[in-house]
Amino acid sequence: VNQFIAYGHYGSLVKGGSFLPNDRLHKNSYTLGFNGVSYANAAPITLNYGETVRVVLINDTMMNHPIHLHGMWSELEDDRGNFLARKHTLSVAPGHAITYRVTANAIGRWAYHCHLLYHMNAGMFREVRVS
């Protein structure tokens, strides 16, 4: 028999649904960014059309970050620079790093961000300009 678990199968262990008071359930107090700079203070990342860049993402937080660049593929590499996979979204686990290449083959203004909305709202967002 094939079975699966969905969120609807879960129930709360406490009446009211949470162990934490409401003032501890949100993450609005976080400030996140790339290279220690949140979106509000960051200049756009500029790339020349046809340029290939290597990106190293180091996750020094205790949270997972699924990183997505609109308009272009990301080519994940191993620690020796060998191609592993072509992806739209790359997940960076807590305390880990990944390396990947991007070829700027789409002219325009593109979003580069963490796919977790509260991380994006906390500053993990950049504009990438390809010209």
pTM here? 0.77
Q: 89: domain range?
A: 26-130
Domain assignment present for 87: yes
Give the model's pLDDT for residue 15. Answer: 67
Number of domains in the chain: 1
Model confidence over 105-114: pLDDT tens digits? 999 999 999 9
Are 110 and 19 in contact by the 8 Å Cβ rule? The answer is no
- CB contact set of 106 (below 8 Å; sequence gap of 6+): 71, 72, 130
Q: Grade residue 36 by pLDDT with cuts at 50, 70 and 90.
A: confident
Domain assignment present for 58: yes
